[in-house]
Amino acid sequence: MKNLTIGLFGFGVVGEGIYQVLKDKPGLKTTVKKVCIRDINKDRNAPAHIFTDQPAELLFDPDINVIVELIDDAEAALPIVKAAMEQGKSVVSANKKMIAENHAELIELQQTFDISFLYEAAVCGSIPIIRNLEEYFDNDLLNYVCGIVNGSTNYILSKMQTEHLDYQVALEEAQKNGFAESDPTLDVEGIDAAFKLSIIALHAFGELVNPYQIPREGISQLQTEDIESATALEKKVKLIARAQHHDGELELSIKPELVGDDCILSEVNNEYNGVLLGSSLADEQFLYGKGAGRYPTASAVLSDISALRYGYRYEYRKFNRVNSVPSLVSIP
Ligand code: HSE
């Protein structure tokens, strides 16, 4: 088992949670040496000497072997993650936008610099979906992955349907609870779900998909009457992300759908996420858990950090199979 010395970028709700857990659990043999933040003068619940606003102090520190990137800005995160990999440091990130927009380049960098790049927290919060797709479903038996992958929209829809809350009030509650993105348009227009679905498509089916090309419809246009009509039909309205093989083609979509009580997704409420996995032999399986919020996200980040202690990395076997060009055999 490796000892891990972490350089942490970001000290928001998740970053601070990770710092406190690692400090209280010396048995994990993982210490946070330095934390890089934007505003060095803000009061924090940790000793002042660990904070810096200079990324280089973490990126070029030879003692630091892992960078945990938890900042709320995909554009700022990318150069940090790339520099960390170039310095031979493993990286844990929860930044779905940065990953979905730059997946091909990030896969190449981790192979070139022979490091691990883990991001379980980027998709469905606490649900271990990526590692399941990588390890358990490391075969060609999966036919579809579909479900609820955004906690904020599910929270809004649940509150509108069960408590008759107004859309705007429900959205404000989702923001107050720390479920929504700083720009909630990403949630309500299904863009966040598209980032997650493109990451799922790579690990489930080996296909690199541009998240902005996924056909997408959000929930901002839904009217109270739509919700009431669904209730009259004894159905729930859910924002469903779908990746499905059809005639050899992978079809992807994000859109609100009516879900009846014959489908377990109708039981997934509030900030919970739920994912159905359809496979040729096992038929259908279901993963369920909290998809947003401080502790669920921190739990997935922590799981990635623990996995680094035994050198775990994603192998992208399906992607490598889909993209491998058979080498020409020369005939003597
Ligand atoms: N805004 C995201 C959501 C956070 O609501 O699902 C977790 O990725």
Q: How far apart are CA 167 and CA 160, in angstroms?
A: 6
Q: Is 150 in the pocket of ligand 1 (CB under 6 A)?
A: yes
Instruction: Report the C-alpha gap between 269 and 238 in whole angstroms.
Output: 9
Per residue in 94-103, pLDDT (tens digit) is 999 999 999 9
Question: Which superfamily does CATH assign the domain made up of 4-118 to?
Answer: NAD(P)-binding Rossmann-like Domain (3.40.50.720)
Identity (one letter) of the amino acid at 118? L
Confidence at residue 235, expressed as pLDDT on a 0 to 100 scale = 98
Annotated catalytic residues are 196
Assess whether the C-beta atom of 190 lies below 6 angstroms from ligand 1.
no
152 CA distance to ligand 1 centroid (A)? 6
Provide the pLDDT for residue 331.
Answer: 41
Separation of 297 CA from ligand 1 center, angstroms?
Answer: 9
- Compute CA 123 distance to the chain's CA centroid, rounded to the nearest angstrom: 2
Q: What is the pLDDT of residues 70-104, one digit of tens each?
A: 999 999 999 999 999 999 999 999 999 999 999 99
CB 153 within 8 A of CB 219: yes
Q: Is 51 in the pocket of ligand 1 (CB under 6 A)?
A: no
Phi, psi of 276 (to 5 degrees): -100, 135
Residue 212: count other Cβ atoms within 10 Å of its Cβ.
12
**pLDDT per 10-residue tile (average), the chain, 332 residues:** 91 92 88 96 94 98 98 96 98 98 97 97 98 90 96 98 96 96 97 98 96 98 95 98 92 98 98 96 96 93 95 92 57 40
Q: Would you kindly state where each structural domain of the chain is located, as residue ranges?
A: 4-118, 132-289
Does residue 122's CB lie within 6 angstroms of at least one atom of ligand 1? Answer: no
Domains 4-118 and 132-289 alike in fold: no
d(CA 128, CA 162): 28
Average pLDDT, the chain: 94
Q: Output the CA 25–ligand 1 centroid distance in Å.
A: 27
| pTM, two decimal places | 0.95
* pLDDT value of residue 324: 66
DSSP per position, 32-86: EEEEE-S-TTS--SS-GGGEES-THHHHT-TT--EEEE--S-HHHHHHHHHHHHH
| Domain 132-289 grouped into CATH 3.30.360.10 | yes
